[in-house]
Amino acid sequence: MYAHASKLSLANMWVAFITFALAALMGVYQVAERSGMFPKIEFIELYYRSVSSHGVIMGFVLTTFFIMGFGYWIIHTTLKRPIWGGERMGWTGFGISLGGTALAAILLFAGEASVMYTFYPPLKANPLFYVGATLLVVGSWVWCLQMVMSMNAWKKENIGEPVPLAMYAMTANAILWFITSLGVASEILFQLLPWSLGIIETIDVGLARTLFSWTLHAIVYFWLIPAYIAFYTLVPKAAGGTLFSDEISRISILMLLVFSVPIGMHHLYVDPFQDAGWKFVHMIGTFMVAIPTLITGFTVFASMEVAGRLRGGKGLFGWIWALNWNNPMVLSGGLSLLMLTIGGWGGMVNASYSLNVAVHNTQWITGHFHLIFAGTAVIMYFSSAYYMWPSLTGRPLFSTKMALLQLWLWFIGMLVLTLPWHILGLLGQPRRIGVAPYSEEVTAPWAPYEFLMLIGGVILFISALLLILNLVLTHFNKKADTPPVMEYAESMHPVINLPKLLNGFGFWTAVIVIYMIVSYGYPILQFFTMDTIGTFPWSI
């Protein structure tokens, strides 16, 4: 049974990392194209085809499949019971998502869907692209259901016991993803699909953007929570310590869940069609969601300090050097927190009701989310993969040294790529540009930063190759091992008398629904009471 369960997880994860490798190749092409140093590869049509594919794969495919694989493995290793609904149901969801991904990929590569991963209308893609994207999401809903029901089944079998933290957090993530994906799902089903098929003539772009914003913020927490799970449950274990506080970690996860969905309108700060008052309300929620991240920082640092002192570290900072930085999980935890600290400050700027205009849709934004998402979150996907691969495949990791080098390169490459992007944004460079055909006067100050971006992109690409190589060589490692048991950090204090509210989601789901109605009810309804004028489709 064990081997069986690992197949489902492994299949999901391989889809994630193989598509990731492909998208990393596109990434390095994009930086080369943009740098202006290789006029021979400047094809604008290819550039946008590539950015659209890279964005969809990195944002939707790598993440969704990795998270599904991680989730199934967490059910298996923490609940130690079969997945609710059986593995066959899991494979069905996997098949639906994979089919959708393949369909979307064909259209993306064929240049029939060069509409970016945000696919904002009235630019229109081939209708089959929207079908593919929908199937990817629908398949993941099967996973959401299995996460929630598996947790509930376990709770019935273990009355009064606290749900293991990793499982609790991943289930929160499943609920979060389901609620947040309803925004884009309704945009596609009620607007984009019928409109791209010609069933309705025009659509309201304001409504479409509002629905997309519903998805666009919380989706980043869907991507980030797996990294937090690694912070809470894998990093302290690898560091040789314990989790500082199980309860506070749960509270952080719940705050992320409740506050991250109803605040998406901060993506519409400079849009017409929504009143400033609503943007203000969403700004307040946006700063609330900073709190659990600040708390997480404390919990993780504290857990690592405990580990460092257990290893004999002394003094104010001595514990830092006492930690085992040659462990990929510990190293990635440290590097990830550093990137989170830098990127978090940028995030405060983006979130600011008034300061946002200084950076909106400039290259700053691309810099920000590569740092927070491709850096902070994805580096934890890497180390989690290194950690899980031996237990998933039954073979020892091919090379720990290579893994350490890979993580360092990812960190360095990410800083070299994204810090110049932040500066370019402040200098005025807009995002999503291919060849920058502005005047010499405008582009001259950009040149040194574009060069750095190219270096950063190349370093990242090398790092991506090392990752894939290590995972492949592990999978086919001749030295078979008995699969190590996947272990999670214990809490420093035993979890006793856990309030029911911190062990379930019913109440919190109700809170989100009410909060959603308050913060999105009128902003969506207004499009049906105003006499808005729809827009016809445009090709790229």
Partner 1 sequence: MHVDATEKKWVILSFAMAIAMMGILTAYALNKNIHPPSNVEIIDSTTLHLSDEFNEDNLGIKQAEDGSLTITMVAARYGFFPHNMTVPVDTPVKIRIASADVLHGIHTANTNFNTMIVPGYISEVNTTFRIKGKHPMFCNEYCGLGHDYMWSQLNVVSQEEFIASLKKGDE
Q: Report the interface residues with ligand HEM, using CB under 6 A.
A: 24, 27-28, 30-31, 34, 51, 54-55, 58-59, 62, 116-117, 366, 370, 373-374, 378, 431-432, 457, 460-461, 464
**Does the footprint of Cu ion cover residue 370 (CB under 5 A)?**
no
Choose the one of partner 1, Cu ion, ligand HEM, none that binds residue 497, judging by a C-beta under 5 to 8 angstroms depending on kind: partner 1
Using the rule CB under 8 A, which residue among 200, 357, 447, 514 binds partner 1?
A: 357
Q: Is 493 a catalytic residue?
A: no
Using the rule CB under 8 A, which residue among 92, 152, 186, 356 binds partner 1?
A: 356
| Residue 364 C-beta: closest distance to partner 1, Å | 11
Site residues for partner 1, 98-157, by CB under 8 A, read 114-116, 120-123
Bridge partners of 123, per DSSP, are 538
Using the rule CB under 8 A, which residue among 76, 237, 279, 370 binds partner 1?
A: 279
Q: DSSP per residue over 276-340, as a string? A: HHHHHHHHHHHHHTHHHHHHHHHHHHHHHHHHHHHTT--HHHHHHHHS-TTSHHHHHHHHHHHHH
- Give me the catalytic one of 353, 432, 451, 522: 432
**Does the footprint of partner 1 cover residue 48 (CB under 8 A)?**
yes
Q: Is 76 a catalytic residue?
A: no
**Between 174 and 213, how does the x/- string for binding to Cu ion read (CB under 5 A)?**
----------------------------------------
The neighbour count for residue 272, using CB atoms within 10 Å, is: 7
Choose the one of Cu ion, ligand HEM, partner 1, none that binds residue 485, judging by a C-beta under 5 to 8 angstroms depending on kind: none
| Residue 467 C-beta: closest distance to partner 1, Å | 30
**Does the footprint of Cu ion cover residue 217 (CB under 5 A)?**
yes
Task: Kindly tell me which of 105 and 502 has the beta carbon lying closer to ligand HEM.
Answer: 105
The neighbour count for residue 223, using CB atoms within 10 Å, is: 27
Task: Kindly tell me which of 399 and 532 has the beta carbon lying closer to partner 1.
Answer: 532
Q: Say if residue 122 is preceded by a cis peptide, omega within 30 of 0.
A: yes
**Does the footprint of partner 1 cover residue 302 (CB under 8 A)?**
yes
Using the rule CB under 8 A, which residue among 433, 458, 469, 516 binds partner 1?
A: 433
Which among 409, 479, 473, 416 is positioned nearest to 448, based on CA atoms?
416
**Does the footprint of partner 1 cover residue 291 (CB under 8 A)?**
yes
Choose the one of ligand HEM, partner 1, Cu ion, none that binds residue 217, judging by a C-beta under 5 to 8 angstroms depending on kind: Cu ion
> Distance of CA 184 to CAs 94, 180, 188, 215, 509, Å?
20, 8, 6, 6, 19
- Give me the catalytic one of 47, 65, 212, 221: 221
Distance, CA of 16 to CA of 62 (rounded, Å): 4
Q: Is 267 a catalytic residue?
A: no
User: Left, alpha or beta for 280 (phi > 0: left; psi -120 to 50: alpha)?
Assistant: alpha
- Give me the catalytic one of 287, 431, 522, 527: 431
Gap between the terminal Cα atoms of the chain: 50
Instruction: Check: CB of residue 399 under 8 Å from CB of residue 359.
Output: no
3-class secondary structure, 203: strand
The neighbour count for residue 492, using CB atoms within 10 Å, is: 15
Q: Is 217 a catalytic residue?
A: yes
**Does the footprint of partner 1 cover residue 201 (CB under 8 A)?**
no
Classify burial at 114, counting beta carbons within 10 Å of its beta carbon; exposed 0-12, middle 13-18, buried 19 or more: buried
The neighbour count for residue 456, using CB atoms within 10 Å, is: 22
| Residue 65 C-beta: closest distance to ligand HEM, Å | 12
- Give me the catalytic one of 266, 282, 370, 422: 370
- Give me the catalytic one of 66, 168, 369, 520: 369
| Residue 351 C-beta: closest distance to Cu ion, Å | 8
Task: Kindly tell me which of 418 and 519 has the beta carbon lying closer to ligand HEM.
Answer: 418
Binding segment toward partner 1, per CB under 8 A, in 217-225, 335-343, 454-462, 531-539? 531-539
Distance, CA of 113 to CA of 253 (rounded, Å): 36
Q: Is 4 a catalytic residue?
A: no
Amino acid at 276: A
Choose the one of Cu ion, ligand HEM, partner 1, none that binds residue 55, judging by a C-beta under 5 to 8 angstroms depending on kind: ligand HEM
- What tokens appear for 413 in the block? 């490459």
- What tokens appear for 151 in the block? 């947790």
| Residue 436 C-beta: closest distance to partner 1, Å | 6
| Residue 55 C-beta: closest distance to partner 1, Å | 11
> Distance of CA 110 to CAs 45, 49, 117, Å?
11, 8, 15
- What tokens appear for 112 in the block? 């029939």
Contacts of 205 (CB under 8 A, 6+ apart): 120, 121, 122, 535
| Residue 525 C-beta: closest distance to partner 1, Å | 13
The neighbour count for residue 428, using CB atoms within 10 Å, is: 12
Site residues for partner 1, 358-397, by CB under 8 A, read 358, 360-362
Chain position whose Cβ is nearest to ligand HEM:
27
Contacts of 378 (CB under 8 A, 6+ apart): 62, 410
- Give me the catalytic one of 34, 267, 368, 422: 368
Distance, CA of 265 to CA of 21 (rounded, Å): 33
Point out the residues that are catalytic: 217, 221, 368-370, 431-432
Name the site residues for Cu ion (rule: CB under 5 A).
217
